[in-house]
Amino acid sequence: MGTKWSITSCECLSKLISSDFNILIVVSGKEKGYFLPLLRDLYRGIHLRNKDNLKKISRQNSISYIEINDVNSLSFIDFMNSFNPDIIFCCIFDQILKKNLINVPNFGAVNYHPSLLPDYRGADPYFWVIKNGENETGVTIHYIDERPDTGDIILQKKHILREGEDISELRRALSTIGSDLAIDALNNIFKDNVVRVRQDIEGKEAPEPKMSDYIIDNTASVKQIYHFIRGVKSLGPIFKFNDEIYFVKDSKRYELYTHNMFPKYEIIDNNLFYYGVDGMVLMNIESKVDQFLKKIICRYIYQQLV
C-alpha cells in the first residue's frame, strides 16, 4: 500500500519485486483531483511528481492494482481476505489502517516511516527534521498498531544530514536506505528472526506543515536561516518582515560578524540581504511577477497568505 506518485513508494515496490517477493496486489488511495496538485507544483516552481507511478510498475509486472477511498471499509476487508495475504506492507500510504484490516494478514501489517521513531511521528518528518535543524534522521520499519507510527520497531537505520541538504535530496536518500531496509525486515519476519523493540510513548511530532511553518525565523542565527532555506527551497520558504512578505528561491551564502543593524534588510535586484543577530545571509527571491502570482496561488490553495 502506497501513494501512487511517491518516489519512495515506487522505489520500495520495484525493489520488492526484484527481490522475488510474491506481491498479490498493490493499493493506493484515490487521487483527490488534479487541479490543486498542479497549482502546488506551480507555486513551488517545480514539478514534484515522479516519472514512474505504482499503477505503471504494477501493470509492467502483471500485478493487480487498485485505488480506493477507504481501506477500512467492510467490502475492502472482505476483498483482502480473499487473497489470504501473509503481510500488508505500507510505504508512504495516506490512510490509517484499523484493527479489522491489521488482523487480516497472517504475519501482521508493517510500515515504512522516514524518521527514527519514536521521534517525528506524523505526516511530514522530512520537513520537521530540517525545520528543527537536526543532524541526523533515518528510516524505521515497524509493525502497525491502531495508533499511527507507534507499533513495535523491527529495524532502523540512520542517515546523517549533509550541510544544505534539500528536502527532495533527503527524500531520495531515505528512499534508497528504506527500501533496502524493508527487504531485510520482511525477510526477518518470514524467517521468524525479529527482535521487536517497543517504542517510547513520548517523541517529537511531525504534522502536515501549515503555511506559517514556512516563514523564516528572523531571530535565528544566520547559519540556521541559511540551512532552513536551503533545506526547504523546493517547497517555498517565506521571508516576512513586519507586513512585508517575500517568497525565497534559495540562500546563496551567510557571513558571521558583529554589527548594529539587526534587524534590517535591503533588496538589490532579486537579492535580499538580511542582517540577522550574528551576521548577514544573502537570499535569492522571486521576481516581482512571480511574487504576485504566488500570493494569488497561496490564497487559493491554503485559504491564507501566511
Number of domains in the chain: 2
CATH code of the domain in which 238 resides: 3.10.25.10
23 and 115 in a single domain? The answer is yes
Note the pLDDT of residue 185: 97
Note the pLDDT of residue 114: 97
Angle at CA of residue 3, ends 173 and 211, nearest 5°: 75
Name the residue among 188, 110, 208 with its Cα closest to residue 151: 110
Note the pLDDT of residue 30: 84
Angle at CA of residue 127, ends 6 and 2, nearest 5°: 20
In a domain, 43, yes or no: yes
pTM value?
Answer: 0.90
Note the pLDDT of residue 33: 62
Note the pLDDT of residue 273: 97
Note the pLDDT of residue 68: 95
In a domain, 220, yes or no: yes
Note the pLDDT of residue 187: 97
Note the pLDDT of residue 106: 95
The set of cell numbers assigned to 78 is: 472482505
222 and 262 in a single domain? The answer is yes
The mean pLDDT values, 10 residues at a time, for the chain of 306 residues are 93 96 94 65 59 92 96 96 96 95 96 98 95 95 94 98 89 96 97 95 91 92 94 90 92 95 94 97 91 78 62
Note the pLDDT of residue 15: 97
CA distance 58 to 25: 8
CA distance 77 to 207: 28
Helix axis angle for 7-18 and 167-190, nearest 10°, is 30
216 and 90 in a single domain? The answer is no
Domain span at 148: 7-190
31 and 142 in a single domain? The answer is yes
